[in-house]
Amino acid sequence: MNQKLAPIALRNLNHSFPPWCWISSFELSAMTDRSLVSLRNWRLRGTGPAWSRDQKGKIWYRLADVLSWASGGQQTADEAIDGYLRRMMDAEFIERIGKEKAIELLSRRTSRPQPKLVHPLWKFSKSTSPIRMETP
């Protein structure tokens, strides 16, 4: 991974949306100051963040996976989500209602529409055959 990317991506992405939100290729391109061609090359080479397609074929990235990828694996997607939840809600409350319910409650406050994805997260290996990623 390019050493210049991590500080740029983390600085621009950290406070924009909740980490479970999906962002488009155009948004990721703007937030990381990289071209759409670079994102496409990362997908083909398997060096970029995990991604998915919607029913119309548009590419989407889950913000938590982008944060994890940009940190060079120092922070997992789950850690990004947990950190956001701890900043937004009391830890006892999260424990009492559960992580999924906390995400659901916070998602209601986010007016950002989410894509209807065809399949879970995908990442392509160097042989360009799809490898299924674990979904949260």
pLDDT at 128 over 70: no
**Total domains present in the chain:** 1
- Cα of 36 vs its chain's centroid, Å: 17
What's residue 113's pLDDT?
Answer: 65
Give the structural domain span for 20: 5-132
Average pLDDT over residues 1-18: 54
Q: What tokens appear for 108 in the block?
A: 């209601």
The secondary structure element, H or E, covering residue 123 is: strand 122-124
The tens digit of pLDDT for each residue in 72-91 reads 878 888 888 888 888 888 88
